[in-house]
Amino acid sequence: MVSNRKTRLENMQIALIAHDGKKAEMVAFLMENREALNGINLISTGTTGKFVEQAGLKVTRVLSGPMGGDAQIAAKIAEKEIEAVIFFRDPLNAHPHEPDVQMLMRICDVHNIPLATNPSCARLILKGLHSN
């Protein structure tokens, strides 16, 4: 049974996105939960992915959010390629690409994809992925 779970996790893809004011928090979360992420494929918007790579983690990068990365992630969700999204949003600052953010969140809801917008919820998603 453990080998089936490991195979399932190795085929799993989680999207990572963080607004500029939350990128350090994203990296800290990933480092604290590195073991739980072992074997899971990470995909990220461009700038967030750059921070993740600098922390020593392997990640597939798409465009930055404002340049279409949020839409690329949403398309992968619609194609059933992503099992969860960790999106550390900065609720205290305005973002010029807010319509893209809202679209991504809507796509998660439409396709029943878990969406964590803070570390506490992200930890719960990781626990849930490992308990199945």
Q: Where are the domains of the chain?
A: 2-131
CATH architecture of 2-131: 3-Layer(aba) Sandwich (3.40)
**Whole-number Å distance between alpha carbons of 74 and 43:** 12
- pLDDT band (50, 70, 90) for residue 10: confident
Per-residue pLDDT at 132: 66
Q: pLDDT tens digits for 15-27?
A: 999 999 999 999 9
Count of C-beta atoms within a 10 Å radius of residue 94: 6
SS3 of residue 15 by DSSP: strand
Q: In the predicted model, what is the mean pLDDT of residues 45-66?
A: 95
- pLDDT band (50, 70, 90) for residue 90: confident
Count of C-beta atoms within a 10 Å radius of residue 31: 13
Average pLDDT over the chain, rounded to whole? 90
20, 70, 90, 109: the catalytic one is 70
**Cβ contact 9:33 at 8 Å:** no
Per-residue pLDDT at 95: 65
Check whether 3 has a pLDDT greater than 50: no
> Could you tell me the pTM of the whole model?
0.90
Catalytic (active site) residue 109: no
